Structure 1
Amino acid sequence: MSSDPRIRKELKECGPDNGSGVFAVPVGDDIHDLRGEILGSEDTPFQGGIFNIEIKVPVQYPFEPPKMRFITKIWHPNISSQTGAICLDILKDQWSPALTIKTALLSLQALLCAAEPTDPQDAVVAEMYIKNRVEYDRKAKEWTDTYANPSVNSGKIQRVVEMGFEKEKAVKALEENEWDEEKAVNALLGM
């Protein structure tokens, strides 16, 4: 029996205007290849961020969980800062056919509010979370502003690029200089 009718029904429930702060849509015509979006919750370092999620729905769905990973870079103990891989039990051994794509996305949104640093995906981030929460919050907010809310720093990036620097180098210099344009340009010029 095909899972396609169920996936189509679930996609109607988690469309862009469903009011939940999460949604999923097909990439092209393949309903097994989805893009999800999670809005960062208020009073967290992720507030104001829009996080894109790659969702691959297996043929055996709902008897197997969807495979999800963050496309948007994020600083979180349960999400790899390098690959976007997620450590969340319902996406692995605690999946149930009663769960949906929307409930999985809502669980990811909840994970952003309540990290599990003792069961990390990214040990470096988890160590910072446990040993220096202030620094963790600062870096998570910086990554949110940089990668999940490009409008915040896009003007700075654009101005540095217009000076003749490659975009990747401009972003790196800005990040390393706490988004101070003058310091970033001086670093790029070797001053």
Structure 2
Amino acid sequence: MLRCQVASTRTPFQKRVQKELDSLEARAGEDGIYVHDYPDTDTCRIDILGAPGTLYAGERFLLRFRFSARYPFESPEVVFEGESPMHPHIYSNGHICLSILYDAWSPALTVHAVCMSIVSMLSSAQEKVRPKDDASYVSRVGHRSPKLSKWHFDDDRV
């Protein structure tokens, strides 16, 4: 695993991110969540495993978190890297339609809590399909930050 080397003068957000990642590393794999790497405190990659007994059981996915200097008061940007799961709330460009990543964000949430919410979202899926508007959304926004999109959360069923 690649670990960041942070100077001794860290900002509050860097300290918070480091603490959260250290906590995740200490409990590596407990919830199917593994720190993949964090080359700096602005970016980290987390592996998540599909929960046993679900459509995604044993499948491994890579999430990229990007933190702004306003974290935890502002949500991190979270996207799937590489091949994203086929799911009604996950676009083929890796963008995730999950309210806690946008409108429902709280500074009390952590990297672990976000990962657990995504694993839970995957676990509740009844079928592996893309969102109905996947092609038009991806052609319109490409790979720009999902935080620049206006999300509408009206379907918590999958």
TM-score (norm 2): 0.69
User: 98, 106, 109: which is aligned to 1:96?
Assistant: 106
Q: Are 1:27 and 2:38 an aligned pair?
A: yes
User: 75, 83, 86: which is aligned to 1:75?
Assistant: 86
RMSD of aligned Cα (Å): 2.4
| Secondary structure of 2:120 counterpart | helix
Measured in 2, the distance between the counterparts of 1:21 and 1:108 equals 11
Q: Structure 2: which amino acid aligns with 1:8?
A: Q
Structure 1: gaps spanning 5 or more residues = 126-191
Percent identical residues: 31
Q: Structure 1: which amino acid aligns with 2:58?
A: G
Query: After the TM superposition, which residues 33-44 of structure 1 pair with which residues of structure 2 at under 5 Å, given as runs?
Result: 33-44=43-54
Aligned position for 1:105: 115
Q: Are 1:52 and 2:62 an aligned pair?
A: yes
User: Larger relative contact order (C-alpha < 8 A, sep ≥ 6)?
Assistant: 2
Measured in 2, the distance between the counterparts of 1:74 and 1:26 equals 20
Query: After the TM superposition, which residues 1-191 of structure 1 pair with which residues of structure 2 at under 5 Å, given as runs?
Result: 2-15=12-25, 17-28=28-39, 30-71=40-81, 72-80=83-91, 82-115=92-125, 122-123=131-132
TM-score (norm 1): 0.57
Aligned length: 121
| Secondary structure of 2:19 counterpart | helix
CA contact (8 A) 2:86 2:130 kept: no
Measured in 1, the distance between the counterparts of 2:125 and 2:77 equals 20
Structure 2: gaps spanning 5 or more residues = 1-10, 135-158
Q: Structure 2: which amino acid aligns with 1:3?
A: F
| Secondary structure of 1:3 counterpart | helix
Cα-to-partner distance string for 1:110-158 (whole Å, 9 max, x where unaligned): 00012499xx972168xxxxxxxxxxxxxxxxxxxxxxxxxxxxxxxxx
Measured in 1, the distance between the counterparts of 2:126 and 2:42 equals 29
More helix by proportion, 1 or 2? 1
Measured in 2, the distance between the counterparts of 1:46 and 1:35 equals 19
CA contact (8 A) 1:23 1:102 kept: no
1:48 to partner: Cα distance: 1.2
| Secondary structure of 2:12 counterpart | coil
1:10 to partner: Cα distance: 0.3
